[in-house]
């Protein structure tokens, strides 16, 4: 895949020849690798060297077919796609990479059965115990699901975004948004690396975390372009702003005269994203702003308009607000997302907290007194949460000050001495040294 992506960027015969040699080798060994003998011999017990190492060749083969139109690569990719399966205890990264390859096969052939295969597989994971509260997935499928892995998290985000682009079903966009704002940010280390985190029924301890620079960091870097390319969506109807993130539209993918923009987010500080129009046609055009489920309202505020006249605002359906006007490069406006604290049941009398798109937790770095011998029995006084004023926030990278919340805590050891615990976006872990987090909390017993 690295060679193919390089070839697409800078076509050179020697690079393509190397890709074809790899493809031809896969074709030569296909009859052996597709045999029942090999499938059975390399079961889930082999984990990262199990049969997933063959299944994930769909990605390279499908993309090699796109470049060369050699039918041998397409046929082999289809044969491999037919034997993909999710085995209990097997390696998540290999399985999800295989499905991303099937999505590439769908793009290359237009055969709807490959899209259906990936949708069914995605739904199977999303409805299982392997769908984590953070929006991620584990390193190994149940029952081997004791820790996460950056590779698998990034695969999950990329596959979900591919399904969103192929189907326009909002379940995929919302799931990808949760993964990007929470699991990807939490999994990234302060060094920039991605890697492993252990997890329990109630949280994510700091012990056992490891930077997997030999693999996870590579895939972490690969996910960023996919995320940015999913923020804006140009269509014949206009330009859609789907994810409240920083983004610059890739100009080579946009037709001349079409509406283009960049987005600069201060969502974490004040709930606002600024959108700047960088190119526009001569006639009226529409910009569509999505209202996420976690936003109570979305307010459009003009900062600078270079030509006279107001924009026509109208509901565009499916949670989008349309803005139509004759745009000019240099027009600027703010999108303000109204957000508030949400508390949701999380099983066994426990609750989880969110603010906007962010999952909140109690970190050991901010709450050393909360983490003690009976941590799991500490209780939060639900209904008495309050926001922390910005002037009292620490100074550190990747802070999400808008989400910081204080809650009264009844410690298990000394229940007659209530204290306070600070809940913060788990995304802040990116800017911290590795520390422990609790995510599911008991409430104060009534009566």
First to last CA, the chain: 61
Q: Where are the alpha helices (DSSP H) in 10-91?
A: 13-33, 36-41, 52-55, 57-68, 71-81
Mean pLDDT score, 345-357: 94
Mean pLDDT score, 381-396: 81
Mean pLDDT score, 289-317: 90
CATH code of the domain occupying 2-228 = 1.50.10.10
Closest CA to 431 of 393, 398, 403: 398
Mean pLDDT score, 1-20: 96
pLDDT at 382: 86
Mean pLDDT score, 348-365: 96
Of 8-17, 120-129, 222-231, 308-317, minimum mean pLDDT range? 308-317
Angle at 101 between CA 100 and CA 107, to 5 degrees: 95
Res 44 pLDDT > 90 = no
Which H/E stretch holds residue 324? strand 320-325
Mean pLDDT score, 328-351: 94
pLDDT at 39: 93
Tell me the C-alpha distance between 48 and 291, whole Å. Answer: 40
pLDDT at 446: 62
Whether the CB-CB separation of 96 and 152 falls below 8 Å is answered with yes
pLDDT at 29: 98
pLDDT at 45: 87
Tell me which of 2.60.420, 1.25.10, 1.20.120, 2.40.30 is the CATH number of domain 237-338.
2.60.420
Q: How confident is the model at residue 347 (pLDDT cuts 50, 70, 90)?
A: confident
Instruction: Measure Cα distances from 205 to 361, 362, 426, 434 in Å.
Output: 12, 11, 12, 9
Whether the CB-CB separation of 269 and 318 falls below 8 Å is answered with no
Res 342 pLDDT > 80 = yes
Per residue in 191-238, pLDDT tens?
A: 999 999 999 999 999 999 999 988 999 999 999 999 999 999 999 999
In the block, tokens 């529409």 appear at 286
Of 67-81, 280-294, 301-315, 366-380, minimum mean pLDDT range? 301-315
Of 54-63, 114-123, 253-262, minimum mean pLDDT range? 253-262
The percent of residues above 70 in pLDDT, for the chain, comes to 97
Tell me the C-alpha distance between 148 and 132, whole Å. Answer: 9
pLDDT at 310: 78
Locate the domains of the chain by residue range. 2-228, 237-338, 341-443
CA atoms within a 13 Å half-sphere pointing along the CA-CB vector of 162:
24
Per residue in 140-193, pLDDT tens?
A: 999 999 999 999 999 999 999 999 999 999 999 999 999 999 999 999 999 999
Q: Is 34 exposed, middle or buried (0-12, 13-18, 19+ CB in 10 A)?
A: middle
In the block, tokens 């489920």 appear at 293
Mean pLDDT score, 12-32: 98
pLDDT at 389: 73
């Amino acid at each position: 895949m690295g060679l193919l992506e390089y070839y697409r960027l800078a076509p050179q015969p020697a690079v393509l020849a190397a890709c074809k040699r790899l493809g031809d080798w896969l074709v030569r060994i296909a009859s052996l690798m597709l045999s029942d003998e090999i499938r059975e011999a390399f079961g889930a017990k082999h984990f990262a060297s199990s049969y997933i190492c063959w299944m994930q060749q769909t990605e390279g083969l499908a993309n090699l077919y796109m470049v060369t139109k050699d039918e041998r690569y397409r046929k082999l990719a289809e044969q491999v796609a037919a034997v993909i399966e999710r085995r209990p205890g097997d390696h998540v990264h290999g399985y999800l990479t295989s499905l991303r390859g099937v999505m590439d096969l769908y793009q290359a052939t237009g055969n709807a059965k490959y899209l259906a295969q990936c949708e069914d597989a995605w739904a199977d994971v999303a409805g299982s115990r392997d769908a984590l509260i953070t929006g991620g997935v584990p390193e190994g499928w149940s029952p081997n699901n004791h820790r996460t892995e950056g590779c698998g998290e990034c695969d999950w985000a990329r596959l979900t975004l591919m399904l969103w682009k192929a189907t326009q079903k909002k379940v995929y966009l919302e799931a990808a948004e949760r993964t990007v704002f929470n699991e990807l940010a939490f999994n990234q280390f302060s060094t920039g690396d991605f890697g492993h985190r252990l997890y329990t029924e109630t949280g994510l301890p700091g012990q056992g975390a490891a930077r997997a620079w030999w693999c996870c960091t590579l895939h972490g870097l690969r996910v960023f372009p996919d995320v940015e390319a999913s923020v804006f969506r140009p269509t014949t109807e206009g330009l859609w702003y789907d994810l409240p993130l920083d983004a610059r539209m890739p100009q080579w993918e946009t037709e001349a005269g079409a509406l283009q923009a960049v987005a600069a987010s201060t969502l974490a500080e004040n709930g606002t994203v600024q959108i700047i129009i960088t190119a526009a046609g001569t006639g009226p055009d529409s910009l569509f702003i999505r209202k996420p489920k976690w936003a109570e309202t979305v307010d459009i505020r003009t900062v600078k308009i270079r030509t006279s006249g107001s924009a026509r605002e109208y509901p565009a359906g499916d949670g989008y607000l349309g803005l139509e006007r004759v745009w000019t490069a240099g027009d600027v406006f703010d999108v303000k997302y109204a957000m508030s604290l949400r508390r949701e049941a999380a099983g066994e009398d426990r609750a989880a907290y969110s603010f906007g798109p962010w999952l909140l937790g109690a970190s050991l770095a901010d709450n050393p007194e909360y983490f003690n011998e009976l941590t799991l029995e500490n209780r939060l006084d639900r209904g008495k949460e309050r926001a922390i004023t910005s002037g009292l926030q620490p100074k550190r990278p990747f802070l999400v000050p808008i989400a910081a919340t204080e809650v009264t805590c009844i410690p298990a050891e000394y229940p007659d001495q209530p204290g306070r615990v600070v809940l913060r976006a788990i995304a802040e872990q990116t800017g911290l040294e590795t520390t422990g987090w609790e995510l599911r909390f008991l409430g104060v017993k009534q009566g």
